[in-house]
Structure 1
Amino acid sequence: MADVIEYYREEDGGHPASLSPGYRSTVARSPRRPLIHMPHTLTEVTGPKGVWDQLMGPAVMDLTKQHKAEPLGQRIIVSGRVLDENGRPVPNTVVEVWQANAAGRYIHKKDQWNAPLDPNFTGAGHVVTDDQGRYRFVTIKPGAYPWKNHPNAWRPEHIHFSLLGPAFATRLVTQMYFPGDPLIAIDPICQAIPAAAVERLVSRFDIETTEDHYALSYIFDIVLRGRHATPMEA
């Protein structure tokens, strides 16, 4: 694989390498030739300013209230801020989440492993950050699940995040993990990222925003650029 062109520099914020052999799917999808520069068109760099809620519909911030009954599992609150490289808030940014249920299963036809589906949990939501770059979701802590990367492979508990800024071309995708999860250290996706940068993908338990007799709380700030950027496409 020596001919594979690498488009990763640790000083760029610790984003994953395009080729990480331990993460098997990157072998097929990593580029073999130099990238071709394709300037964005006007329709790609402009978008609906301040009207994301009109385009996407009402916010879906409580994933436990989408059906007739409460979903099974540990109720949690996930909140944080979207920030630029200087720590300034980034308002009017779409934050989407999707995740497995408490048993580690997605509602998707390709997810057929032997774990129960929850009819009261879809596992998807979206909000738009406020003037201070803040977002907040109520959801269920997802379970770990097996995947076919290697024998006895299990993904750590995680929530997928997608951010959409001023235009569709600015979409960024990442994952949030939970503190103390032993699977993080042996997960090939996490190991494709420098160790210091992996820490930026791990949320922080926060007792101050935990709601008594209701839900535990985790804080996950997302930094878009710079040396302390949150790794994207993790």
Structure 2
Amino acid sequence: MTAQRRVWIIGASSGIGQALALQLAAEGAELILSARDEGALRDLAQTCGGAEALPLDLADPDAAITAAVTALSGRPLEAIIFTAALYEPGRVEEIEPAFLSELITVNLTSVFHLAKAAPRLLRRGGQLVLFGSVAGYLGLPSGQPYSATKAAVANLAESLAVELAPRVDVRLVSPGFVRTRLTDKNRFNMPAILSPEEAARAVLAGLRGKGFEIHFPRRFTFAMKLLRLLPYRISLALTARIAGRG
């Protein structure tokens, strides 16, 4: 992805999305920024030197994405970057049904609606960038349903990479721990945690390369990939130790 193009960032008001917006703006990209927090979004658009603020409430993804497609039609985009997500740690019996429904809608259902719209918005060969997570590599206690939705996003991205090629260049981003308002909710040690700025630099470097998955920091993500490859009797025992139950 080159910086001197139109880029739409969904989930831009904080965290990695905000850091990506600031770095791309510094490089001269023309940005369309979306999030539910309209005030924070407009402040960021002003900081990014005239970026377009396009408020988006993914609680109703069909209506939101349809309206966005209408607003953005005309000039093709170089990339669409979807970083939006909800997260709340806790045991499965503690999850409120209403929040569960909202989380699945924002984290997963919205991605389906976006994937359907992407070919109409992107230039040929433009990038659709979907955010999974290292949390989706392996089911971890107190991480559901976030981890489950991120595993599903990774599966969907794999399918789309084949289904939409070569019209759309689908990429999957799998971050480790990044210091954001979501990870601030965690009450456990987060190894190899990065700042949003470090994460954004890793994402942009990956998008300028050819690889399907962009995962970082490698010293952590490779260990998690290895854990996923082990037989369940070993990986689940290690997971129990990680969770303090071994």
> TM-score normalised to the size of structure 1?
0.25
> TM-score normalised to the size of structure 2?
0.25
Tell me which of the two structures has the higher relative contact order, counting C-alpha pairs closer than 8 angstroms and 6 or more residues apart: 1
Give 1 or 2: higher helix fraction.
2
